[in-house]
Chains A and B, each alone.
Chain A
Amino acid sequence: MNATNGSNPNNGDSGYWGFTILFWAINTAIYFSFAVHYAGWTAPIVVGYLLYPIYSIGLTHLLHLELRRRRGRVLPVWKRIAEMVLAVLAIGLVQTFLIGAVDWLFGGRDSLFYQQTALIASAFGATSAVGMWVFVYAFRDHRLQRIQLKLALREAELRALEAQINPHFLFNCLNSIRALVAENPARAQDMITRLANIFRYNLHREPTHTVPLAAEVEVVNDYLALESVRFEDRLRVHLAISAEAGKTPVPSMLLQTLVENALKHGIAPLPSGGDLLIRAERDRDATRIEVENTGQLGANSDNGAEVERGQAGVGLNNTRERLRILYGGRASLQLRNREDGRVVATVLIPANARA
């Protein structure tokens, strides 16, 4: 599932209909006044220009729907332009046919089909109108996409911050540390340092940028050390990050989000705890990052787990969205239940990604 496929077919472009209707209304008004000026108020002209905006809106709307459906594909610019030109010509052709047909129905022998020049003029007029519509449409769409990307990033930033300064984590952590102060002062000091590391990392990080995976691993290590204080022997961590993989640029908070999900939804609900495995390997084409944990997706169904799963879903969708923004569909994130009672999250980052 693509996170951008909202339920609204216009994808949040509330001005789409206004723009389309206004565009065709103005276009019709201009063409109509020319037609009346040269040919007078005749039935074929009046009927023709009553119908013209209706099928024009219909045709361009079909194009709009098709473009929405294909959104998110990665194509070279020249191919995109060629596609658009073809679409404009095709719609222009259909329009010309419809103009002619209406005219023929109402004008009989005098109709456009019998006057080559007039037909060509109509074809030219209709096609250039569609061309203009597509031009404005593409401009609007480009602007809209940029706004949406920005919003997605901002949301990712917020979510990451929330996750990090996750109050449940923070307060339980502080509580544990307070107990450690008496029980094991050296360990308490270590935990305070790690908590400081996590907060520093979060305050200094640029959510729109990437960081080397190794930096993520480092802060995840701090995070896991803190969680180990709470989970004690309920949490067993295994790390296997190859040196090569550690250099891969990844969106900040990528690993953190996955690990946090694994703990919160996988291991925390299990009375006897579980294993957490983090692996990363790099080959010629891609870096593969895996976070594996004991548990099954959707296993716990009470205690507002619905709500929490919803939150996890949002976190993952947001991570997917950021991957899409940064790597344009070449990176992926998958979460699946494995048959041996484990959940594995797999992220693939293309090898030639720009950092």
Chain B
Amino acid sequence: MKAVIIDDERLARVELRRLLAEHPEVQVAGEARGGEEALDVIAGLSPDLIFLDIQMPGMTGFQLLERLEDVPQVIFTTGYDEYAIKAFEVNALDYLMKPIAPARLAAALARARPRQSKSRLEQVFVRDGEKCWIVRLADVFLMESEGNYTRLCFGSDRPLIRRSLNALEEQLDPAISFRANRKQIVNLKWVQAMAAGAGGALAVTLRGGREVEISRRAAARLREVMSL
């Protein structure tokens, strides 16, 4: 697994590198001293995993995540940041408190997985007011277009992300994400039931009860995909 360490303190990076030497499955491919540098390094290396300090000069860890189109797996490393951590709801791989205990690091790494695919979007960062999420797109059952924004539906949350549905669609896995109509993309893994609608259209029910209209044009495609 390719990892990048992002921390403004040189000694903190040195220390983490030293700890990671015990884990040959993790290869530290790069380091960054702050957000701007990290953007370049991540773009160049597309790592599976980043170790991210939250409090950094210039750009905080959160601001960095906001600017990443595709978010790798994140392990936060922080000195003491109750405030910052509270803001996080979902899906950072782990939070490690510095000085990092080797056993805690091992536990965090045990959860890390190499990326499935280099070209597909796996995670995005979303901020909605006070709350932030790292959202695994596999958990998103429905995406709805709202102008230049897209509403992501997962769990009981419905935050908006500043990307158009069309732009997102290009980066999604077509085997899972299905364009149901002009406004919506459903996650096929979440489809529970399907019913015929008027004039060759379909209606699918997602786990959790949400119903989505499948346009006539899409319905033909869906039948094909689902081999009905």
Contact between B15 and A178, CB atoms less than 8 A apart: yes
Question: Which residue, B11, B12, B99, B100, has most C-beta atoms of chain A within 10 A?
Answer: B11
Q: Which of A301-344 contact B (CB under 8 A)?
A: 302-304, 307
Interfacial chain B residues near A168, Cβ < 8 Å: 55, 79-81
Q: Does A26 contact B (CB under 8 A)?
A: no
Contact between B11 and A183, CB atoms less than 8 A apart: yes
A interface: dominant SS: helix
Contact between B80 and A179, CB atoms less than 8 A apart: no
Contact between B57 and A172, CB atoms less than 8 A apart: no
Q: Does B183 contact A (CB under 8 A)?
A: no
Contact between B62 and A271, CB atoms less than 8 A apart: no
Interfacial chain B residues near A179, Cβ < 8 Å: 11-12, 14-15, 18
- CB-CB nearest in chain B for A268: B57
Q: How far is the CB of B196 from chain A (nearest CB, A)?
A: 51
Contact between B60 and A303, CB atoms less than 8 A apart: yes
Q: Does B58 contact A (CB under 8 A)?
A: yes
Cβ 8 A contact of A270, one of B14, B15, B57, B84 = B57
Contact between A230 and B97, CB atoms less than 8 A apart: no
Count of chain B residues near A, Cβ 8 A: 24
Q: Does A217 contact B (CB under 8 A)?
A: no
Q: How far is the CB of A185 from chain B (nearest CB, A)?
A: 14
Q: Which of A146-195 contact B (CB under 8 A)?
A: 167-172, 174-176, 178-180, 182-183
CA distance A172 to B57 in the complex (A): 15
CA distance A229 to B8 in the complex (A): 12
Q: Does A218 contact B (CB under 8 A)?
A: no
Cβ 8 A contact of A175, one of B11, B34, B36, B55 = B11
- CB-CB nearest in chain B for A171: B79
**0/1 string, B27-47, CB within 8 A of A gives 1:** 000000010100000000000
**0/1 string, A257-277, CB within 8 A of B gives 1:** 000000000001111010000
Q: Does B182 contact A (CB under 8 A)?
A: no
Interfacial chain A residues near B81, Cβ < 8 Å: 168
Interfacial chain B residues near A271, Cβ < 8 Å: 34, 36, 57-58
Interfacial chain B residues near A268, Cβ < 8 Å: 55, 57
Contact between A304 and B84, CB atoms less than 8 A apart: yes
Contact between B99 and A269, CB atoms less than 8 A apart: no
**0/1 string, A115-135, CB within 8 A of B gives 1:** 000000000000000000000
Cβ 8 A contact of B62, one of A170, A174, A303, A307 = A303
Interchain residue pairs A-B with the least CB separation, the first 9? A179-B15, A172-B79, A175-B98, A167-B80, A179-B11, A271-B58, A171-B79, A175-B99, A176-B11
Q: Could you give 19 example pairs across A and B, Cβ below 8 Å? A: A167-B80, A168-B55, A168-B80, A171-B97, A171-B98, A172-B9, A174-B99, A175-B9, A175-B11, A175-B15, A176-B11, A183-B14, A229-B11, A269-B57, A270-B58, A273-B57, A302-B60, A302-B63, A307-B83
Known: A232-B9, A273-B57. 9 other contacts (CB 8 A): A168-B80, A171-B79, A171-B97, A172-B12, A172-B80, A175-B9, A179-B11, A179-B14, A268-B57
Q: Write the residues of chain B forming the contact surface with A, with a CB cutoff of 8 angstroms.
A: 9-12, 14-15, 18, 34, 36, 55, 57-58, 60, 62-63, 79-81, 83-84, 97-100
Q: Write the residues of chain A forming the contact surface with B, with a CB cutoff of 8 angstroms.
A: 167-172, 174-176, 178-180, 182-183, 229-230, 232, 234, 268-271, 273, 302-304, 307
